[in-house]
Each structure stands twice: as structure tokens, then as C-alpha cells.
Amino acid sequence: MYVLDTDHISLLDRGGTEGQHIRARLAQVPPDDVTASIVSYEEQIRGWMSVIAQARTAERQVPFYREMERLLRFYCITPLLPFDEKAAVEFERLRQARIRIGVMDLKIAAIARANNATLLSRNLADFGRVPGLHVEDWTR
């Protein structure tokens, strides 16, 4: 099973060369083997909510709401891995091991580890600090 990190989801959305590389690799695996995490959903929704809040007029908010709706549609068709009890236990274990990466990344790593999944991310430096986490960068 593969878990798309937030950066890979964003790159897929934007297209471009890196997004095309990810798409080509995804075409080689069964669609049921590709998931995202609820934490990536949280990160992206928080981002769009911030952008919407900064747009001072309703008129300026319209295109950002469209983008947030497009994001919601992606998550409606993409299987999500939860931050459940098993992931929470893994997260606490990683925190106690003093893995020095951001909290959201640590939660995503915990979800991937709890599900014995390979995380797809460009952030090999941070995720590489997590013992036993399988992480690959499909942008190349």
C-alpha cells in the first residue's frame, strides 16, 4: 500500500513535470493500493481556510472556495487512512523516541507505519529520520 504525502497530492494537483512523474508511477500500481491520510486532508483544508480568510471580499474568496471544493472531490474518491488508535500509539512511540520532525509529518509517518505502508513524499530528509518507515520520492 502507498500513502500519498501532502506534497505529492499538491504536485499531482498542479500537474507539471513532477506531477506527471508521480502520475506515471501511480499508473503502474493497482488503484486500490493508493491512499492518502486524514492528516494530509487536515493540512490542505487548513491551508485553503487560511487563504479564504485572508481574501477580504466575498468576490475574492470565490476562486479559493472552488479550489477547496476541487480538493474535497479528490478526497471523496481517494481512500483515506485514519489517525486511529493504532496510529496514535505509533505517534506517541515516535515522539518518545524524540524523532525531530514536524508534528503533522510525524502523524503521517505514524499512519504509514501503523498500516505497514510506503509513504510517497519528496521530504526524504525528515521522513528518513523515522526508523522503519518506508518512504519513496516519485517525482523523479
91 in a structural domain: yes
Confidence band for 15, pLDDT divided at 50, 70 and 90: confident
Measured CA distances, 25 to 12, 13, 83, 138 (Å): 12, 15, 26, 7
Give the range of the structural domain holding residue 126, as residue numbers without chain letter. Answer: 2-41+80-136
Asked if the structure places residue 13 within a domain, the reply is: yes
pLDDT at res. 90: 97
Do the domain assignments include residue 84? yes
Which tens digit of pLDDT belongs to each residue from 62-107?
Answer: 999 999 999 999 999 999 999 999 999 999 999 999 999 999 999 9
Strand (E) or helix (H) holding 105: helix 103-114
In a domain, 53, yes or no: no
pTM of the predicted structure, to 2 decimals: 0.92
State how many domains the chain has: 1
E runs forming strands in 64-126: 80-81, 118-120
Residues 37-46 have pLDDT tens digits of 999 999 999 9
95 part of a folded domain? yes
Position 111, amino acid:
I
Return the H-helix or E-strand segment holding 41: helix 38-54
Closest to 34 in 3D by CA, of 16, 10, 8: 8
CATH of the domain at 119: 3.40.50.1010
Query: What is the model's pLDDT at position 122?
Result: 96
In a domain, 71, yes or no: no
100: in domain? yes
89 within some domain:
yes
